[in-house]
């Protein structure tokens, strides 16, 4: 399933990630998953939240650069071997992954995937068993 | 509209005769009233009798900013204090401030000069101009203010600060013209976007911009964002303030009010006079000032003069846009770099906001230059590689213009200071 991810451009400055988390906390927005990609002087914080629109608006109002990106969420049983199986399937079908990270909650486990070719990946996943 | 047909379209030869007469009178006046100039002239062995016409100006001594500082506060005021009606002062961030003292006559000349500017910008008495230069010791605010009143248009003394209120006034009062710095004009348009006010809601169509050097790219940006025609107005407080030169509808060089302010271009190193079209340091002589007249004042502004007829009908000499100040020039690894070059590159790229900060430092005896820029909304990417490509693109573009490699730092939105007055673009940390 395709979901919206909130990406935030951050300068590499002390306390910057905390400020983002605080802004979202103040608005009662729940962060379900995140990953932080960084280069030497700036980073991109990627977030999956329970209210994407509200989160994006809150951050924009605070003058922060926000990008909404489509990513794919795949629910998997929380058991050994399922991730390896999924990745093998994607690889065999020629899907390259730009980045990925995990989303885990009570009784479920998901993989968030940003493939280089979103539509192709969606089509392939439709046939995944 | 040409405000003063007689002076602005005067035959070139007549103008030179007029300038010569005024110079003779000025030199006699300062020789007899100011020990500073009398001493300088005696040192090089000339007297007022040696001045026969405007061409003899090259024999007169120069005046520098340092002379103004050394003679602070009243050492260069030649009129008796009873004749002085106003004093402005510079910020004095690097030593003594410099002051400018005006007689009533000086203020009249200043208003006349600003009126010529307003005519060239196309104002009529029906127009309302908001003056968003700082009111106070800085000459920008009051200079424009009394010029607009003299012209007969309506002035709104908005000054700087409280930009949102100012934008509401522009909309509600139907303000048609604004005078401010180019950086403030950009800040206005950015604030308008944040407030959700579009340019179609405003009647604004003329912008008189000055007090800092700006580029053609910046003009295009401002014209597009604000929906105005943007004109350069040049001036410096030592000479009178804004109104020393101005663009006409051709937007091709600024016409100098040369019956009052005589321009020369000199080589900034040798001080030799240079010809029309040659780039050098701009020098002004205040031909008609009483309060604090200056002979051959070195502005440090780098430009060239155009002595060709302008399609607008004015015959006055024009100056090309200021390419920088001789003291703004950065020498980085032996290469001359002007902030205006960096600006023109950034403003030519749609991926970046029109703000920047240059930091120069010296690490292990090697000069470093870093340019901070903000990526424009809509050009941010979720992909680190794309962001790095954006940096490289700017870096390559800068290298082709500057011939040196600058480090690029992408910073968060709004983290570069928005200037309300003159923008500060350079932080030179080198301890030389």
Tokens found for residue B363 = 């690490």
Give residue B124's pLDDT band: very low, low, confident or very high (50, 70, 90): very high
Residues in A touching B411 (Cβ below 8 Å): 11
The residue-averaged pLDDT of B26-30 equals 97
C-beta atoms of A9 and B380 within 8 A: yes
Q: Is B358 exposed, middle or buried (0-12, 13-18, 19+ CB in 10 A)?
A: buried
Q: Nearest-CA residue of chain B relative to A71?
A: B382
Q: What residues 384-423 of chain B have any CB closer than 8 A to a CB of chain A?
A: 384, 387-388, 409-415
pLDDT digits (tens, 9 = 90+) for A16-67: 999 999 999 999 999 999 999 888 789 999 999 999 999 999 999 998 999 9
The residue-averaged pLDDT of B198-205 equals 95
pLDDT digits (tens, 9 = 90+) for B250-272: 999 999 999 999 999 999 889 99
Name every residue in A having a CB less than 8 A away from some CB of B: 5, 7, 9-11, 37-39, 41-42, 44, 46, 63-65, 67, 69, 98, 114
Residue holding tokens 């935030």? A8
Interface predicted TM-score of the whole assembly (ipTM), two decimals = 0.81
Give the integer Cα–Cα distance in Å for B401 and B341. 7
Omega of the bond leading into B346 within 30 degrees of 0 (cis): no
Residue environment code for B63-98, b if the CB has 16+ CB neighbours within 10 A, otherwise e: bebebbbebbeeebbbbeeebbebebbbeeeeeebb
Residue B128 pLDDT? 98
Fold of B1-327: Rossmann fold (3.40.50)
> B242: which strand partners?
B235
Residues in B touching A114 (Cβ below 8 Å): 382
Whether B313 contacts chain A with CB within 8 A: no
| Lowest model confidence (mean pLDDT) among B55-64, B92-101, B104-113, B160-169 | B92-101
Give residue B362's pLDDT band: very low, low, confident or very high (50, 70, 90): confident
Give the integer Cα–Cα distance in Å for B317 and B303. 13
Every domain of chain B and the residues it spans: 1-327, 330-428
C-beta atoms of B413 and A64 within 8 A: yes
Distances from the Cα of B125 to the Cαs of A102, B117, B129, B261, in angstroms?
A: 68, 14, 10, 26
Question: Which residue from B368, B367, B338, B361 is spatially nearest to B427, judged by alpha carbons?
Answer: B361
C-beta atoms of B412 and A10 within 8 A: yes
pLDDT digits (tens, 9 = 90+) for B37-94: 999 999 999 999 999 999 999 999 999 998 998 999 999 999 999 999 999 998 665 5
Give residue B215's pLDDT band: very low, low, confident or very high (50, 70, 90): confident
Evaluate whether B209 touches B239 at the Cβ level (below 8 Å).
no
Residue B93 pLDDT? 57
The residue-averaged pLDDT of B119-131 equals 97
Give residue B203's pLDDT band: very low, low, confident or very high (50, 70, 90): very high
pLDDT at B284 over 80: yes
| Rounded (to 5) percent helix, strand, coil in chain A | 30, 40, 25
Give residue B314's pLDDT band: very low, low, confident or very high (50, 70, 90): very high
Q: H helices of chain A, where?
A: 16-26, 52-61, 82-92, 118-126
Give residue B239's pLDDT band: very low, low, confident or very high (50, 70, 90): very high
C-beta atoms of B387 and A65 within 8 A: no
| Lowest model confidence (mean pLDDT) among A61-70, A104-113, B232-241, B366-375 | A104-113
Residue A78 pLDDT? 84
Minimal Cα–Cα distance from B41 to chain A, Å? 58
The residue-averaged pLDDT of B395-408 equals 91
* Bridge-based pairing state of the strands B254-256 and B261-266: unpaired
Residue B424 pLDDT? 83
Mean pLDDT of chain B: 93
Q: Nearest-CA residue of chain A relative to B375?
A: A65
pLDDT at B358 over 70: yes
Which among A5, A65, A114 has CB closest to B413?
A65
pLDDT at B145 over 70: yes
Residue holding tokens 């900034």? B268
Would you list the DSSP string of B240-286? TEEEEEEE-TT-SSEEE-TTTEEEEEE-TTT--B--TT--EEEEEEE
Higher pLDDT, B316 or B403: B316
Residue B154: φ, ψ to 5°? -95, 135
Evaluate whether A41 touches A9 at the Cβ level (below 8 Å).
no
What domains does chain A contain, in order, with CATH numbers? Answer: 2-68 (3.30.2130.10), 71-126 (3.30.2130.10)
Give the integer Cα–Cα distance in Å for B387 and A9. 10
Q: What residues 243-302 of chain B have any CB closer than 8 A to a CB of chain A?
A: none
Fold of B330-428: GMP Synthetase; Chain A, domain 3 (3.30.300)
Residue B299 pLDDT? 93
Tokens found for residue A111 = 């993989």
Residue B364 pLDDT? 80
pLDDT at B95 over 70: no
Please report the number of interchain residue pairs, chain A to chain B, with beta-carbon separation below 8 angstroms.
42
Give the integer Cα–Cα distance in Å for A121 and A99. 13
Tokens found for residue B43 = 């040192």
Minimal Cα–Cα distance from B413 to chain A, Å? 6
């Amino acid at each position: 399933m395709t979901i919206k991810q909130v990406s935030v451009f951050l300068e590499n400055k002390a306390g910057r990630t905390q400020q983002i988390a605080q802004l979202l906390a103040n608005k009662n927005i729940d962060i379900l998953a995140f990953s932080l990609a960084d280069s030497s002087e700036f980073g991109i914080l990627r977030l999956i939240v329970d209210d994407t629109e509200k989160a994006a608006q809150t951050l924009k109002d605070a003058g922060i650069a926000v990008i909404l990106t489509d990513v794919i969420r795949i629910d998997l049983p929380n058991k050994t071997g399922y991730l390896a199986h999924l990745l093998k399937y994607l690889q065999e079908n020629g899907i390259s992954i730009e980045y990925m990270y995990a989303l885990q909650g009570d009784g479920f486990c998901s993989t968030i995937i940003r493939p280089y070719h979103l539509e192709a990946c969606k089509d392939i996943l439709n046939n995944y068993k | 509209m040409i405000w003063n047909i007689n002076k602005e379209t005067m035959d070139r030869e007549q103008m030179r005769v007029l300038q010569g007469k005024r110079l003779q009178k000025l030199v006699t006046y300062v020789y007899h009233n100011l020990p500073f100039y009398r001493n300088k002239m005696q040192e090089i062995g000339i007297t007022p009798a040696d001045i026969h016409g405007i061409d003899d100006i090259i024999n007169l001594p120069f005046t520098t900013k340092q002379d103004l500082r050394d003679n602070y506060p009243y050492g260069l005021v030649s009129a008796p204090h009873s004749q002085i009606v106003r004093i402005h002062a510079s910020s004095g961030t690097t030593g003594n401030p410099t002051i400018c003292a005006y007689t009533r006559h000086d203020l009249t000349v200043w208003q006349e000069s600003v009126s010529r500017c307003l005519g060239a910008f196309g104002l009529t008495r029906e127009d309302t101009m908001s003056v968003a230069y700082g009111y106070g010791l800085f000459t920008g605010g009051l200079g424009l203010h009394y010029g607009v009143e003299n012209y007969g248009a309506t002035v709104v003394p908005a000054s700087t600060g409280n930009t949102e209120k100012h934008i509401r006034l522009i909309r509600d009062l139907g303000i048609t013209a604004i005078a401010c710095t180019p950086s403030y004009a950009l800040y206005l348009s950015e604030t308008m976007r944040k407030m959700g006010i579009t340019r179609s809601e405003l009647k604004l169509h003329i912008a008189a911009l000055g007090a800092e050097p700006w580029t053609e790219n910046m003009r295009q940006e401002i014209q597009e964002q604000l929906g105005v025609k943007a004109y350069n107005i040049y001036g410096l407080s030592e000479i009178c303030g804004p109104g020393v030169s101005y663009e006409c509808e051709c937007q091709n060089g600024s016409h100098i009010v040369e019956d009052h302010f005589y321009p020369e271009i000199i080589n900034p190193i040798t001080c030799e006079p240079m010809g029309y079209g040659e780039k050098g340091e701009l020098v002004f002589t205040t031909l008609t000032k009483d309060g604090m007249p200056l002979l051959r004042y070195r502005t440090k502004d780098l430009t060239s003069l155009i002595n060709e007829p302008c399609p607008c009908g004015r015959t006055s000499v024009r100056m090309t846009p200021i390419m920088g100040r001789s003291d703004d020039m950065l020498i980085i690894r032996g290469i001359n770099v002007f902030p205006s070059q960096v600006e023109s590159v950034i403003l030519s790229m749609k991926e970046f906001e029109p703000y920047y900060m240059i930091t120069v430092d010296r690490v292990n005896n090697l000069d470093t230059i870093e340019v901070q820029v903000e990526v424009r909304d809509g050009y941010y990417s979720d992909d680190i590689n794309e962001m790095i490509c954006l940096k490289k693109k700017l870096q390559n573009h800068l290298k082709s213009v500057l011939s040196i490699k600058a480090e690029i730092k992408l910073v968060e939105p709004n983290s570069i200071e928005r200037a309300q007055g003159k923008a500060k673009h350079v932080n030179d940390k080198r301890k030389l």
